[in-house]
A and B are shown apart, each in its own frame.
Chain A
Amino acid sequence: MAEVKTAEFKQASGRAIRNPGIQHALDHVMSHFTEARAAVIEADYGDESWESMRTRAAALKSHTIERLDYYLDLVDKNVRRNGGHVYFADDAAHANRIVLEIAERAGVKRVIKSKSMVSEEMGINPALEGAGIEPVETDLGEYIIQLAGETPFHIIAPAMHKTRQEVSDLFQDWLKTAPTDDIKRLCVIARDALREKFEAADMGISGANFVVAETGTVVLVTNEGNGRMTTSVPRVHVAISGMEKILPAMEDLPLFLRLLPRSATGQRITSYNTFVGGPRAASDEDGPEEFHLILVDNGRLNLLKDEVLREALNCIRCGACLNHCPVYRKIGGHAYGWVYSGPIGAVVTPPMTNTKIARDLPFASTLCGACRDVCPVKIDLPRLLLHLRQRVAEGDGVDGPANGWSERAFARRWYNAVKTRKALESSTRLARMLQRPIVRRGVIRKLPLPLVAGWTKDRDFPALAPKPFRQRWREGLGGD
């Protein structure tokens, strides 16, 4: 599985904040996405119809997740009927093993990939390289970060943090092309390089935006055409999907094909909606000889088992919650330390990886609620974050609290100070005495406790008022 580096969340987010290039990219791209989304929703639907579409989509996803075993069986049955093979992978290592076995049986040497976040979870590229197989990402953004040796910065815009100069440098290093700052030229360079890879590949690995249970169809929503090449040119096609990506029937799909691109990029429709029904039939002119679908758990059962967190399995990976998150918009994707970032990343990373290592993430939100309001499947992300905070603070029934002792002591102190009026009055009286030496002109410029000292680096903290409101009330404001 891809390494979890979330323990360094604070340091990594600080680095992103202090990086002007990253800040510029975030300002620019996030505003573009959010403005385009708002404009297209207003033009096409208006708030009310959009709201009812979100409600229907949420209900449909919840229905499917509640009956996941039934729908997984249906997918299995229908993909097989279409001549494909179906696998269920418990975790990343298991899923990688399945891919390598398919590759070995088919004598695969070269693999092309279209975008797949699940394959990022699996860390499939190093696994393939370890087996002597060359994997090449064919989504332009993914290709760029593959050359750079990085992970996706954003769920749908993985290389959004790279400038044209950086891309030109990467191409110069890896493809020996002349430097250029012409974006069109850079696209042509990538296109030429990838064309050779498409033609030579033995296996194509794709993700799945949706898996339609009724027909056993894998649906891909892409903009570059690489997804269609990946699923039709090589002789073997392996589709990898999180086990939650199922929709019951083809008639459910149009709703999601309307919601997804509008929420993600503000597009009415993506350039390519690709439907994969299985391997080529005898009558087909082209298409893969083999079709394999791998349905991956890799921690999703941990979400399913939890009645509150289960809602996160409704996610269709549009990235709208990232685009509207004030935190993501300052720190970008890498700080989150694993595959998923932004509010949805903060929700799924702890239960899918390790609550202790990822314990900062549920707290890395102001709970402003902007994410919930734009989610196309209405995931109540703040509620899920609060639920996870409780698991971090109180333990999850298996492990004890992941919070440090100083935070637990802080919480205890709060509780003891507010449990009764008497406690409040005596503790604030004490605090008024203690603050005296550090108050200047009504403010504290430097809080002395390490746990809270960061606050006063950029802002003054108010001193407790000489007389609290309750005292002013007693002394006349309240009347006699």
Chain B
Amino acid sequence: MTIKAALCATCLVDQFYPEVGEAAVKVLRHLGVDVSFPEEQTCCAQIGFNGGYRREAEEIARHFLDVFEEYDHVVMPSGSCASMVKVYYPELLAGDSEALERAKALGERTHELTDFIVNVLGVTDVGAASSGLVTYHDACHLLRELHISSEPRALIQEVDGVELQEMAGCDTCCGFGGLFSVKFPEISAAILNEKLQNIGASGASTLVANDCGCLMHMRGAMQRRGMNVRPMHIAELLAEGLGDASPPQGSR
């Protein structure tokens, strides 16, 4: 039976990094998933929630439930957004028992991309091929809210021609923290600096992470410094060498 999944692109991918969304679609389709993109989707509400704007966040969360509730699975190329839905929606909607139940049920069916590929589809070798030394950054919410760390590593290791080279402090925050990096750019940059040193010292030619927030942050400084490491979302690495992303015949 074909597995059906709705892609929640996340606002960063939708607006800044659409190529990551395309890569995710390509990988999922390659693995036989019938991918939908509900066009009413906007944002998971994490920005407002982390800023303390709970009332507004609650409304956006309800919108998310309305948009995604009808799907068997929701797949997000971000550990941070997935943890917003899975971990923090129940907290945000605790005051409304009906919405809370809906949120819990949807949370169970919501997965970060690599969690979905490895734990739902049961695949670690997606058939991708690339080259070079890859180092992996553990995005904080993926690691410590969703406890996903072996899945992306297994996927990377199975990419043909790629070797995983762990960096020191791979599980240490890059200093992004969304709003944090805007409010405290100097502290954020100091944390980032240490992360970039560790990336550089690993000798890897490619930096892979599962979250466009962390990647935007690290990439922004790597570009500024002219660092010779290619930052990549894991979906992009897994899509390399897979052929095109055209929808299967008969899909809507």
Q: Which residues in chain A, 316-369, are within 8 Å of chain B measured between CB atoms?
A: 326-327, 329-331, 360, 362-369
Q: Which of B40, B45, B223 is the one whose CB lies under 8 Å from A460?
A: B223
How many of A's residues come within 8 Å of B, CB to CB?
70
Chain B residues with CB under 8 Å of A132's CB are none
**Bound Cα distance A75, B16 (Å):** 60
Whether A55 sits at the interface, judged by CB under 8 Å, is no
Range, interface on chain B = 35 or more
Q: With A326-B191, A393-B53, A411-B51 in contact, is A419–B15 under 8 Å at CB?
A: no
Q: Which of A403, A418, A460 contacts B43 (CB 8 A)?
A: A418
Residue among A327, A362, A403, A454 making CB contact with B182, cutoff 8 Å: A454
Question: Is residue A457 contacting chain B, with contact meaning CB distance below 8 A?
Answer: yes
User: Is A366 a contact partner of B221 (Cβ separation < 8 A)?
Assistant: no
A465:B191 contact, CB within 8 angstroms = no
- Given the contacts A10-B184, A459-B192, A470-B37, A477 and B247 also touching, CB distance less than 8 Å: yes
Best-surrounded residue of A365, A386, A428 (most CB of chain B within 10 A) = A386
What are the residues of chain B within 8 A of A421 when measuring CB–CB?
Answer: 39-42
How far is A17 from B188 in the complex, measured between Cα atoms in Å? 11
Given contacts A331-B190, A420-B63, A469-B13, 15 further A-B contacts (CB under 8 A): A13-B187, A331-B187, A365-B180, A366-B180, A368-B172, A370-B172, A373-B144, A394-B52, A418-B60, A428-B15, A458-B192, A462-B220, A465-B17, A472-B22, A479-B247
A13 touches B184 (CB 8 A): yes
Given A472-B22, A477-B247: A415 and B48 interface contact (C-beta under 8 Å): yes
In angstroms, how far is the closest chain A Cβ from the Cβ of B242? 15
Residues of A with C-beta under 8 A to B183: 360, 363-364
Which residue on chain B has the smallest CB distance to residue A432? B15
Q: Is B32 an interface residue (CB 8 A)?
A: no
Residue of B nearest to A383 (CB): B91
Separation of A457 and B186 alpha carbons in the complex (Å): 9
Question: 23 A-B residue contacts at CB 8 Å?
Answer: A331-B187, A363-B184, A364-B183, A366-B177, A366-B188, A367-B177, A391-B52, A393-B53, A394-B55, A407-B51, A411-B53, A412-B56, A414-B53, A421-B40, A421-B42, A424-B43, A454-B186, A457-B186, A462-B17, A464-B16, A469-B14, A470-B37, A477-B22
Q: In the complex the two chains form, what is the Cα distance from A383 to B52 in whole Å?
A: 11
A326 smallest CB distance to B (angstroms): 4
How far is A480 from B56 in the complex, measured between Cα atoms in Å?
Answer: 35
A53 CA / B47 CA spacing, docked (Å): 35
Q: Is the CB of B140 within 8 A of A14?
A: no
Complex alpha-carbon distance, A309 and B151, angstroms: 34
A326 and B179: CB pair below 8 A? Answer: no
